[in-house]
Structure 1
């Protein structure tokens, strides 16, 4: 077994170079190809991958005694150095790290895991104090000048959404990203920056702020863009903007993200998103690569005021969602009337796998008292019809 567990430099990016291996490295990691520790399979034998091997499942050829000793050691370590309510998850993470040594994972892959974990830890820490504030992620070109109408519209959206009590998240660069920070002000802005060899630099509005996080990897950065967002608003941009927009739509369409308003906003009279929607209808919907209901996952506009209306309307009554076992639970700030509930069941029966949509107040047992003062709609949702679910939420918000 690896003789030590150690922690390298704490912060992912602080503007200086750092080495996660500054301290003495365990002997099992000193060689370019680490020597096998006690969890390794015998020489010449290939390990059978067990995708559920989190410390509670034994790989076919692993030593049960060695595994139990390792799990006990990890449990004791976490109990002493990192006690918390979710210690079981920390233990699984440490177990996975030890498995990396057994798997002879290359140094390059270890560096990716190491850096990604550090980036996410700092990002989670940065956003945590503001978990109670709704946030809009703004995407768009870094090349849009301050004098351009698209910049002015992005700035106006940020001003209006901040006035509604929201904060904004942008990529911290220039162009549309700066417009978002410019409109919302530094105090109501987050910067999620990326290190690039060209173009990207932290804009003057958010530079040096404690709510600025720097990333090396796009995948960790994009996770934070979506994870922390209650709405996503896209202004015209290049490949990066298109990538971010399509990924957000894909995550919502497939149920990998909670449903949220996605607004495509242009300058007044602009045609960027009009042409984009024409392409989507002709080449994706027209060839049945997406469903008609998928067109309801986004809203196209050329007015910042309309974008704010769509975003804030989404949360007029609807609050949040979660799955409790096989049931989808929509939390609401206020109940809908009996007649509206009947119409809801009649209109959206096609997205249920059985039963009806019921309404009640208070948390289900598996919600552990979370948001117990809110009303709920519970249903057996088919987990496919996300565009229809978006329309259902609109119905709920518009009900008297």
Structure 2
């Protein structure tokens, strides 16, 4: 929380600290001035402590990318979005391309926007199906030129990144669901990062959909590897297999995403408490079912209905939504996702 007492973050130079404090107030004279002041302090510390121009160039570009992408997405924060990954090499006449185009068209019709990597192949199909108005492109600048595809090029929502880490941050930070079509190293990298961040609680819960045309064995082979090597050798738990869903039709993928947000709305951590914001209240009978089935993932106490907590008032986010509050162990995220899927079957 912002009002918690914390160690002062200063440069150690009184003259510089005063300039920073004045500049922060001039730039952002509201409740976030403390964060602006800390960022300016970090920049000043870099100038005082570092003589490595390469380091400074990297940090400078990374910060510029973060600022610009945040500016673009700010206007769309309350709109659900799906990020689509897949091969840049998929041909326009391939089943995967046609499937990605159809998926994007239908998910937009269901109130979502679409984020892609902005290139050719599956990325192009995603932007084409969604349409320019409901598309975002997060392109990467490569040694060999990769332009934004024609269905998003020139739009203000077509963003280019120098650094993969910034690009990948915004893929997850700004989306509510992940859909993975067959692809190469990049697709698998993005898929594993999604799974890792959700598995460790570093990303908000989300549906992760592995999709391929009927008859394709791409994800079947991947699941076989994950099961036989990662699960059976103990590198991940069996419950982690519940972090993703494998489907062969666009309709099933759409259903999985819509079902994930039928009752569940969003998550917030307040101190030791895990707060689930809901689209509709659950009866005491339904909450008892949750407690009976998932008490094992709680450190203490039980799952209880609640309104917004006092600590949530500052952010003013979704204060009117009903909530469930629990002392989740923040370890068993595979089972936590299973609980969310069960929760979404309740309240009918």
TM-score computed with the length of structure 2 as normaliser: 0.95
Cα deviation, residue 199, structure 1: 6.2
User: Where has structure 1 moved over 4 Å in runs of 4 or more?
Assistant: none
Cα deviation, residue 80, structure 1: 2.4
Cα deviation, residue 143, structure 1: 0.5
What is the CA–CA distance in structure 1 between the aligned matches of 2:82 and 2:288, rounded to whole Å?
33
Report whether the alignment pairs 1:161 with 2:113.
no
Report whether the alignment pairs 1:356 with 2:302.
yes
What SS does the corresponding residue of 2:299 show, helix, strand or coil?
coil
Match of 1:366 among 306, 311, 317: 311
Structure 2 partner of 1:242:
188
Larger deviation: 96-105 or 120-129?
96-105
Cα deviation, residue 57, structure 1: 5.0
What SS does the corresponding residue of 2:318 show, helix, strand or coil?
coil
What is the CA–CA distance in structure 2 between the aligned matches of 1:333 and 1:396, rounded to whole Å?
11
- Tell me if the contact between 2:265 and 2:277 (Cα under 8 Å) persists in the aligned partners: yes
- Tell me if the contact between 1:153 and 1:267 (Cα under 8 Å) persists in the aligned partners: yes
Q: Deviations over 1:244-283 (max 9, x none)?
A: 0000100000111011110010012211001100000011
Report whether the alignment pairs 1:231 with 2:183.
no
Report whether the alignment pairs 1:383 with 2:335.
no
What SS does the corresponding residue of 1:80 show, helix, strand or coil?
helix
What SS does the corresponding residue of 2:188 show, helix, strand or coil?
helix
What SS does the corresponding residue of 2:75 show, helix, strand or coil?
helix
- Tell me if the contact between 1:234 and 1:241 (Cα under 8 Å) persists in the aligned partners: yes
**Count, aligned residues:** 340
Report whether the alignment pairs 1:56 with 2:1.
no
Cα deviation, residue 69, structure 1: 3.6
Cα deviation, residue 73, structure 1: 2.2
- Tell me if the contact between 1:142 and 1:200 (Cα under 8 Å) persists in the aligned partners: no
What SS does the corresponding residue of 1:75 show, helix, strand or coil?
helix
What is the CA–CA distance in structure 2 between the aligned matches of 1:97 and 1:119, rounded to whole Å?
16
Structure 2 partner of 1:174:
120
- 1:255/1:271 Cα in 2 relative to 1: closer, same or farther (>3 Å)? same
What is the CA–CA distance in structure 2 between the aligned matches of 1:216 and 1:141, rounded to whole Å?
20
Structure 1 partner of 2:133:
187
Larger deviation: 386-395 or 190-199?
190-199
What is the CA–CA distance in structure 1 between the aligned matches of 2:15 and 2:301, rounded to whole Å?
49
Q: Deviations over 1:336-394 (max 9, x none)?
A: 1222111110110110000010012x311100142121110100010011111111111
Cα deviation, residue 84, structure 1: 3.1
What is the CA–CA distance in structure 2 between the aligned matches of 1:86 and 1:372, rounded to whole Å?
20
Cα deviation, residue 71, structure 1: 2.2
What is the CA–CA distance in structure 2 between the aligned matches of 1:315 and 1:324, rounded to whole Å?
21
- Tell me if the contact between 2:86 and 2:182 (Cα under 8 Å) persists in the aligned partners: yes
| 1:90-105 correspondence runs (5 A) | 90-105=36-51
- 1:105/1:327 Cα in 2 relative to 1: closer, same or farther (>3 Å)? farther
Match of 1:335 among 281, 303, 308: 281
Structure 2 partner of 1:110:
56
What SS does the corresponding residue of 1:144 show, helix, strand or coil?
coil
In structure 1, the gaps of 5 or more residues are 1-53
| 1:239-388 correspondence runs (5 A) | 239-360=185-306, 362-368=307-313, 369-388=316-335
Cα deviation, residue 105, structure 1: 4.2
Cα deviation, residue 192, structure 1: 0.4
What SS does the corresponding residue of 2:137 show, helix, strand or coil?
strand
- Tell me if the contact between 1:55 and 1:71 (Cα under 8 Å) persists in the aligned partners: no
Match of 1:146 among 80, 92, 112: 92
